[in-house]
């Protein structure tokens, strides 16, 4: 190779911060508008009958109806695909909808998949109960040993995928991604990573072997708690034909006039199928306004995440030193069993959502969330504002106590999502609540 990379006009890899602002968002071709316009619009005029036919047949690229594609949502989709280092993305109305699109594209009735048991409580319920009604079984495993995934894939050879949260909610747990990806690939199935709590600024699962990334964009990506949304992103590197396990990708699809998605669209075939079948037929599309707000949020992702993790580290260190606190589960602390994995996978910091335990148990947890004034007591994470919740009485209350403890959400546990306010103000607010 010549040394073109050093010439100003040679090939160049743009940095994360540049891509977070520019990827997918060239100026508007018609008007020159620099900010991505909000296309608050449902449907698009065809050039002629032939153009309409081409669009419906997926023979050309373009817009038909905003349930499938919308120019504002498309900008966010391309941006997220770019930031994750993936090939393509499809957005959804929420993170849960993104998970549904993923599994509807992956599974047939009677299929199963393997999932980490350390997930957002809503995902455990979605996988363990609601998916069952569609004929999809989920087998949960302890994700702290990659061998558990290998064993589960041996016990369930019909499994079609492995799902985990690399930086898990709510427990401050980090999964050793690299060996789990190897285990999944040996079984010929994709590794699906929910990267919501880390965001691509802190962790890019594709670089460690993941094949599909899902997000609740509602959290750090939009960042200001003003828009619901989700996304499915594919790496473009998974071979859907090799194992013979994915007929839905590799054989003519009756839901799309006999089109074979992998053959026709290659490395973005999964995303095309998720959009053209699952999103089309179930309809959980992202609203253009929400896409606009999320696009705006992603522009400051790096700046915000740096402050989120700085503040989280300070608050975690304060809590660890407080006598009312039994333990703090934040991988940024040296005391965390996940500290080394954090340094490997999340060198910029292990996010800002973590849990701590109160010596006073369930009652102390309730009292803490009711006493704070600056922290908002609500069920969300990834806001500019600092948030607090007692999972056992809220997000994880539909689980049994054993399931709560297994998910890192036992009766004594308080979960924090540290915002980007002044760190000392957050510490003062918590200190007041703990001393009350």
Partner 1 sequence: MTEPTLADAAPPPLVYDDKLVAGILKDVRTIAIVGASPNWVRPSNFAMKYLLGKGYSVIPVNPGHAGKEIWDQMTYAELGDVPGPIDMVDVFRASKDAGGIIDRAIELKDEKAIKVIWLQLGVRDDDAAARAEAAGLTVIMDRCPKIEYGRLFGELGWSGVNSGVISSKRPKR
Residues that bind partner 1 (CB under 8 A): 11, 14, 18-19, 22-24, 26-30, 32, 34, 54, 57-63, 69, 71, 74-75, 77-78, 81-82, 86-91, 179, 182-183, 185-186, 188, 237, 239, 242-243, 252, 257-260, 263-268, 271-272, 275
DSSP 130: I
Q: Choose between 62 and 247: whose C-beta lies nearer to partner 1.
A: 62
Number of H helices, E strands in the chain: 18, 12
Q: Choose between 27 and 337: whose C-beta lies nearer to partner 1.
A: 27
Q: Choose between 150 and 415: whose C-beta lies nearer to partner 1.
A: 150
Alpha-carbon dihedral of residues 403, 96, 172, 346, nearest 10 degrees? Answer: 150
Q: Strand 376-377 relative to strand 387-389: parallel, antiparallel, unpaired?
A: parallel
Query: What is the C-alpha to C-alpha distance for residues 233 and 297, in angstroms, rounded to an integer?
Result: 18
Cβ 145 to partner 1, closest distance in Å? 13
Cβ 180 to partner 1, closest distance in Å? 10
Cβ 4 to partner 1, closest distance in Å? 9
Q: Strand 325-329 relative to strand 353-358: parallel, antiparallel, unpaired?
A: antiparallel
Query: What is the C-alpha to C-alpha distance for residues 116 and 420, in angstroms, rounded to an integer?
Result: 30
Q: Choose between 19 and 377: whose C-beta lies nearer to partner 1.
A: 19
Spatial neighbors of 214 by CB under 8 A, at least 6 apart, are 95, 98, 99, 102, 192, 193, 194, 195, 196, 230, 231, 232, 233
Cβ 149 to partner 1, closest distance in Å? 11
Cβ 253 to partner 1, closest distance in Å? 10
Cβ 60 to partner 1, closest distance in Å? 5
Q: Choose between 259 and 372: whose C-beta lies nearer to partner 1.
A: 259
Q: Measured between alpha carbons, how far is residue 367 from residues 243, 326, 327, 376, 414 in Å?
A: 53, 16, 17, 14, 11
Cβ 386 to partner 1, closest distance in Å? 33
Sign (positive or negative) of CA dihedral 366, 367, 368, 369: positive
Q: Measured between alpha carbons, how far is residue 166 from residues 129, 194, 248 in Å?
A: 22, 7, 27
Contact, 165 vs 196, CB < 8 A?
yes
């Amino acid at each position: 190779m010549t040394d073109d990379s050093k010439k100003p006009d040679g090939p160049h890899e743009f940095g994360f911060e540049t891509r977070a602002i520019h990827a997918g968002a060239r100026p508007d071709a018609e008007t020159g508008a620099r900010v991505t316009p909000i296309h608050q619009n449902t449907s698009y005029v065809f050039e002629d009958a032939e153009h309409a036919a081409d669009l419906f047949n997926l023979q050309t690229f373009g817009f038909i109806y905003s349930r499938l594609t919308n120019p504002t949502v498309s900008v966010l989709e391309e941006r997220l695909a770019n930031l994750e280092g993936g090939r393509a993305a499809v957005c959804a109305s929420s993170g849960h909808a993104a998970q549904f699109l993923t599994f509807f594209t992956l599974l047939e009735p009677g299929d199963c998949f393997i999932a980490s048991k350390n997930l957002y409580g809503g995902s455990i319920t979605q996988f363990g109960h609601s998916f069952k009604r569609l004929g999809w079984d989920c087998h949960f495993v302890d994700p702290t040993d990659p061998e558990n995934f290998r064993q589960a894939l041996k016990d369930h050879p019909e499994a079609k995928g492995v799902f985990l949260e690399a930086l898990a909610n709510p427990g401050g747990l980090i999964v050793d991604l690299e060996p789990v990806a190897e285990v999944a690939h040996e079984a010929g199935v994709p590794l699906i990573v929910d990267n919501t709590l880390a965001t691509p600024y802190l962790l890019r699962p594709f670089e460690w072997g993941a094949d599909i990334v899902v997000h609740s964009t509602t959290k750090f990506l939009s960042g200001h708690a003003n828009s619901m949304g989700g996304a499915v992103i594919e790496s473009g590197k998974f071979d859907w034909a090799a194992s013979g396990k994915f007929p839905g990708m590799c054989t003519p699809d009756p839901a799309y006039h006999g089109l074979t998605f992998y053959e026709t669209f290659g490395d973005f075939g999964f995303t095309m199928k998720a959009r053209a079948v699952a999103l089309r037929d179930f309809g959980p599309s992202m609203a253009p306004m929400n896409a606009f707000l999320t696009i705006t949020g992603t522009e400051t992702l790096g700046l915000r995440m740096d402050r989120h993790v700085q503040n989280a580290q300070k608050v975690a260190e304060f809590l660890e030193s407080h006598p009312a606190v039994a333990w703090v589960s934040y991988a940024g602390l040296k005391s965390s069993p996940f500290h080394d994995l954090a340094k490997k996978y999340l060198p910029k910091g292990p996010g800002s959502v973590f849990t701590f335990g109160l010596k006073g148990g369930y009652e102390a947890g309730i009292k803490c969330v009711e006493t704070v004034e600056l922290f908002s007591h609500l069920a969300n994470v990834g806001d500019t504002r600092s948030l607090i919740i007692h999972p056992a009485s809220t997000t994880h209350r539909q689980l049994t106590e054993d399931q709560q403890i297994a998910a890192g959400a036992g009766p004594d546990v308080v979960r924090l999502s540290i915002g980007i306010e002044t760190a000392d103000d957050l510490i003062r607010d918590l200190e007041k609540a703990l001393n009350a």
